[in-house]
Amino acid sequence: MKKLLIIEDDVSFATTLVRRMTKHNFSCQQVHQADQALHACLQQKPDCILLDMKLASENGLTLIKPIRAALPKVKLVLLTGFASVATAVQAMRLGADDYLAKPVNTQMLLTALDIAPDVESAVDLDIDTMSAERVEWEHINQVLNSNDGNVSATARQLGMHRRTLQRKLQKKPVSK
């Protein structure tokens, strides 16, 4: 069983990742703050790391070099909701093994971690694919978090009316 450390400030997304990856024989641990990440790496010595690029007000890119220095053989994948060619190049130069844009499905994660899904779990990959409604809800919440809960700023950034955004936020997330 491989050890996976998930460094992600969005607790619900991290929990979703744990649930998905546990199905594929990973022993998962979570860290939600950048200042705890390096300590967790040294303590747990994971085989693989999923690192969020935006950790509250911190930048996950700054963690790549210290993690790589501490764990040179770890498989390190950077996840981001704000993908760009510039940050992808920067992440790879700093030592990331892969760079994935959120939302990410299980197949993409397993491929990035160089884990071939077995035949039995291949059926589960389709189950883990998020619905369009779930992707929208997670994206809205991610943008809302990046705007520190400011609904008006989030609505402007998403190009929708504030009331529409408030209605969408009141709905519970679709399970998948």
**pLDDT for the residue numbered 133:** 74
What is the distance, to the nearest Å, from the Cα of residue 83 to the centroid of all Cα atoms in its chain? 12
Virtual torsion, Cα 110, 115, 120, 126, nearest 10 deg: 10
What would the CATH number be for the domain defined by 132-170? 1.10.10.60
pLDDT band of 77, cuts 50, 70, 90: very high
Q: Tell me what the pLDDT averaged over the chain comes to.
A: 83
pLDDT band of 136, cuts 50, 70, 90: confident
| Contacts for 122-128: CB closer than 8 Å, 24+ residues apart | 124/23, 127/176, 128/20, 128/23, 128/176
Question: What residue segments make up the domains of the chain, in order of their start?
Answer: 2-128, 132-170
**pLDDT for the residue numbered 127:** 46
Segment 13-54, tens digit of pLDDT: 899 999 989 988 899 999 998 889 999 999 999 999 999 998
The Cα 125–Cα 106 span in angstroms is 6
Q: Which residues pair with 50 in a beta bridge?
A: 6, 77
Segment 94-127, tens digit of pLDDT: 999 999 988 888 888 888 887 654 444 444 444 4
Identity of the residue numbered 24: H
> pTM of the prediction?
0.66
Domain 2-128 in this protein, CATH class:
alpha beta
The Cα 67–Cα 39 span in angstroms is 10
